[in-house]
Amino acid sequence: MELRQDLAKLYVRLQRWDEAIAELKEAKDTVMDDSPKARRYKVDILVELAKVHRHCSDAKAAAGGASQSAVPECSECFRQALNLLNDMLSQVRVEDEDAVRQLKQESAELNFMLGEYYETRERNLEYAIGYYGETLRHDDAHEKSILALSRIHLNKNELEICEKQLMQLLRVDPANEEASMLMAELMMMLAAHGGRSDGGAQEYKDATFYYQALLDKKPCNYNALSKLIFLLRRLTMRRKCPSST
């Protein structure tokens, strides 16, 4: 079985995707027993198979001048792997804390990968939010899921939910650059809607704080710099025209 897995990895390096898929499928199908070790092996194979299906689809799309698209085989392999992990988690002894912790962490990662797939490949935000939420159920400090959910809620103009997510992350990791950038954008949007008081003045100050903090850590952050310049110009215009928002 491991020889087939090694051969599949070689085919991946050679970008011979169809041969890699065939070897991984054969490796998975040769596992007949239902022991924890066999299930673990199947999970690894399925995750690898999902990634190869995605690479294969992207390579064919690029060759044809098309953009990346949905890859149903990819999501199906991830789901099968997740189901196996969940079965293992339901059967492990509660007192075996290390095993429970490990399985929860792996389940969180698989849920995140499915969330990312549905967000970026199928543009199904409902499914994406569900899988990101499951990730946080297994790992409430999963940074990538918190950021992904924050971006989705920000884009949907669900500002209070977005703020709650970002505050949760920034309490744990105050130096998180992406969270700080999103928080600054959130404050800008709140200010543009009039803010919570004083026409958004406090939200503009908060946004300025986050952009300046980012630039203090990384002066070459040109994205933050350009947005700070825009914000300062906006504030200057507000001072000249107090009635403006």
pLDDT (tens digit, 9 = 90+) per residue, 9-31? 999 999 999 999 999 999 999 88
| Tokens read off for 157 | 């103009």
104 pLDDT tier (thresholds 50, 70, 90): very high
Domains of the chain plus CATH, in order, are 1-121 (1.25.40)
Closest by CA to 116, choosing from 135, 103, 137, is 135
Q: Give the phi and the psi of residue 26 in degrees, each rounded to 5.
A: -65, -40
pLDDT number for residue 245: 44
**Mean pLDDT, rounded, for 65-69:** 86
pLDDT number for residue 232: 84
Please give the share of the chain, as a percent, with pLDDT higher than 70: 95
